[in-house]
Amino acid sequence: MRNCLVIDLDRCSGCDSCVVACKYAHGLDLGVCWNRVQQMESGTFPDVEQYWLPRQCQQCEDAPCLNVCPTGATYREDTYGIVIVDEEACIGCQLCMTACPYGARRFDEDKNVVEKCDCCIDRLKKGEQPACVHNCCTGARFFGDLDDPDSDVAKAVAAAGEENCHRLPDNGGANPRTVYILHASTAAWIDALKDFSL
Ligand code: SF4
């Protein structure tokens, strides 16, 4: 089982609906996000290209955040196989933030815990899709099991073709699961990590 997000960048309009839906679903304060949409540009005027790259926890196969956590607060839960944080066990040491190559974690100073996207596990338990998937205006986001050929994510990847499916650079062998669909006719994939933090 490899549950994750698949995001179709050919469809993403950069509207930030996913950002707002995430904030609402998790009751996040002003200025706090677990998901942000990054503008990606390449070329020199007038030959320029642009696409939008939503960024959140990549649900890494070999998650470095999980490997460095001294208390087991970050762990892969059994039912959905996703990496989550147990706030009760987190001591706020922030080692996971240093280990994460994708800037996908943030520190809550008030609670002294590190937090991140949890794929809306409370919604999953109720049989619902993550809030960002449910509320995406353009239908660009999918969630499910890449190993299940009947899942939305597997179908989206199969329809796009391997050459149009991308992952963030595998810095440090994290092996990120999140798949980004982008056809060259929309824009060339930029295979480099631009500075990013939540
Ligand atoms: Fe951990 Fe960062 Fe990978 Fe998410 S993106 S699993 S927080 S290393």
Inter-residue contact 32 to 79 (CB < 8 Å)? no
* Closest to 65 (Cα-Cα) out of 76, 55, 51, 77: 76
Q: Which atom of ligand 1 is nearest to the CA of 105?
A: 7
Q: How many CB atoms lie within 10 A of CB 191?
A: 9
Q: Where are the domains of the chain?
A: 3-181
Report pLDDT for 194: 82
Q: Which atom of ligand 1 is nearest to the CA of 116?
A: 7
Tokens of 53: 């790259």
Distance from residue 69's CA to the centre of ligand 1 (Å): 12
Q: Which of 34, 77, 102, 170 to mutate for ligand 1's pocket (most ligand atoms within 8 Å of CB)?
A: 102
Q: What are phi and psi of 8, to 5 degrees?
A: -90, 100
Q: In whole angstroms, give the CA distance from residue 49 to residue 41.
A: 6
Q: In this structure, which residue's CA is closest to atom 3 in ligand 1?
A: 60
Secondary structure (DSSP) of 78-141: TTT--EEE-TTT-----HHHHH-TT--EEEETTTTEEEE--TTHHHHHTTPPPHHHHH-TTS-E
Q: In this structure, which residue's CA is closest to atom 4 in ligand 1?
A: 57
Per-residue pLDDT tens digits of the chain, which is 198 residues long: 999 999 999 999 999 999 999 999 999 999 999 999 999 999 999 999 999 999 999 999 999 999 999 999 999 999 999 999 999 999 999 999 999 999 999 999 999 999 999 999 999 999 999 999 999 999 999 999 999 999 999 999 999 999 999 999 998 899 999 999 999 999 999 998 888 888
Q: Which atom of ligand 1 is nearest to the CA of 103?
A: 2
Give the pocket of ligand 1 (CB within 6 Å). 57-60, 63-65, 83, 100, 102, 104-105, 116, 174
For residue 19, CA distances in Å to 42, 64, 149, 198 come to: 24, 25, 28, 11
Q: What are phi and psi of 46, to 5 degrees?
A: -95, 5
Distance from residue 51's CA to the centre of ligand 1 (Å): 23
Distance from residue 58's CA to the centre of ligand 1 (Å): 6
Tokens of 108: 């809550």
Report pLDDT for 193: 87
Report pLDDT for 115: 98
Inter-residue contact 157 to 146 (CB < 8 Å)? yes
- How far is residue 64 CA from its own chain's centroid? 15
Report pLDDT for 198: 87
Indicate the CATH number of 3-181 among 1.10.3470.10, 3.40.50.150, 3.30.70.20, 3.40.47.10.
3.30.70.20
